[in-house]
Amino acid sequence: MASLDVFLAADRVGTLNFDPATSAWSFGYDSGWVGREDGYSLSPALPRVPDPAVTAESHSQRVRKFFENLLPEGQALDDAAQFAKVSKSNAFGLLVALGRETAGALRLVSAGGTVAASVQPDRRPLSRAEVSERIRGRPQLPFTVWDQRVRLSIAGYQDKLAVLEEDGEWSLVEGSTLASTHLVKPEPVSGDYAGLTTNEHWCMQFAQALGLNVAPTRLEFIPEPVLVVERFDRRRIVGPQGLTIERLHCFDGCQALDLPAAAKYERVFGSAEAVKNIRDGASLRLLFALTREQATVPARAQLELLRWSILQVLIANLDAHAKNLSFFYGPGGLTLAPAYDLTCGLVYPKVEAELAMAIGDEFGPAAVQAFDWASLTLDCALPETLVARELARMSRTAMTHLPQVTDRVRKAGGDVATLDRVNQIVSAQAERLANAAPDVVALVRDERKT
């Protein structure tokens, strides 16, 4: 039996176990954590007080899904497996290698290990010149590997580096009291996604202008363009002992819904004719049900999730899957975390023009009409007047702020060709939303009569 101690920030909460002989996973909370008044579950699927109706097999599946969702994906997973010298199918082995610094507050250390505050934090200064050199050298050395080890365990496909930023300077950090505060994301190696840093920065700024809670971003040129994203799962605290970085517990939509990473898209097997109607993955219907049942303030969470959903159609974000949506979690329940990883996917012709989660039954961002919004309203038990109001408000506000945001990003050095293309797409999408809004209420009420 292999074991890892599980910490939330500096608090030991339980033990993660894996039996290689049976491939069974288990997780048990420490009695001290269960008895704490301020204690809480890691997720809705892993309650502090076990449900006697949950079988050992079901428990194993839930544990594996939750912890495996902490791992990176795609090439980043391949790189991590190579440098950890374990198979990429060996999820527990990868958690051993990468678990000390994950998204949120979770930290996994070898049984008997420590994340005590007495451990001296380590800062490793990182110059822009070194980052620039590593960006250019990515074909030879993965961007996640620094100082002969993998420095990042955050889900996703994009290259990114987690750094501590202090007074504009970057460091790689370790220790209990320090953690990364920002993600540095360069342009993809593939020219098929040229301008992605500009694209994402524009979409993040645009979402903020529309009133959504968004992770702060900025463009830098070192001289290569990089997008610098402030982490929302970290909080700075300056005290008598200097700077401390507090880790905040959060998890993504797959973890919230008790789904594996492979189910982050609603169409779990893709959109080929033979499998396109198999929609067992994450969906807006499931997410709205989750917030209705588990949110600290359900009405607020539903409104925020509705605005997030409308935004994805407005900007034609083709990668708004369940792992690109996160929730804070604590004793009071769920709250929606700031939006992140927002891009206009229709900019790139090689990307299939399909939403990750449907609006009603429609996956095409340019094909969503009033009927589809009405279907979403009914499927997700939303007030039709609220949906119609937000469609009208966001489309109207979008047209007002589109030129302002574009001008601001252009002055920050954004790629002009990317900005022009994003403007064309979002302007057309805003018009479609505006046209759909007036008909939603009548369509919903007519459907309820039948």
Spatial CB neighbours of 128, under 8 Å, sequence gap ≥ 6: 170, 220, 222
Structure tokens at 249: 């517990």
Distance of CA 213 to the CA centre of its chain: 14
Residue 227, beta-bridge partner list = 185, 219
- Going by C-alpha positions, the residue among 189, 200, 203, 191 that lies closest to residue 159 is 189
Taking the C-alpha atoms of residue 290 and residue 73, their distance in angstroms, rounded to an integer, is 25
Burial bucket for residue 331 (CB in 10 Å: 0-12, 13-18, 19+): exposed
Per the annotation, the verdict on 407 as an active-site residue is no
Burial bucket for residue 426 (CB in 10 Å: 0-12, 13-18, 19+): buried
Looking at residue 54, what DSSP letter applies?
S
Spatial CB neighbours of 22, under 8 Å, sequence gap ≥ 6: none
- Going by C-alpha positions, the residue among 56, 5, 52, 3 that lies closest to residue 33 is 5
Taking the C-alpha atoms of residue 192 and residue 177, their distance in angstroms, rounded to an integer, is 40
| Strands across the sheet containing 106-110 | 24-29, 11-19, 2-8, 106-110
Taking the C-alpha atoms of residue 234 and residue 102, their distance in angstroms, rounded to an integer, is 11
Active-site hit among 5, 233, 252, 319: 319
Other beta carbons within 10 angstroms of residue 160's beta carbon come to: 21
- Going by C-alpha positions, the residue among 101, 104, 110, 107 that lies closest to residue 17 is 110
Residue 184, beta-bridge partner list = 161, 228
Residues with a catalytic annotation lie at 319
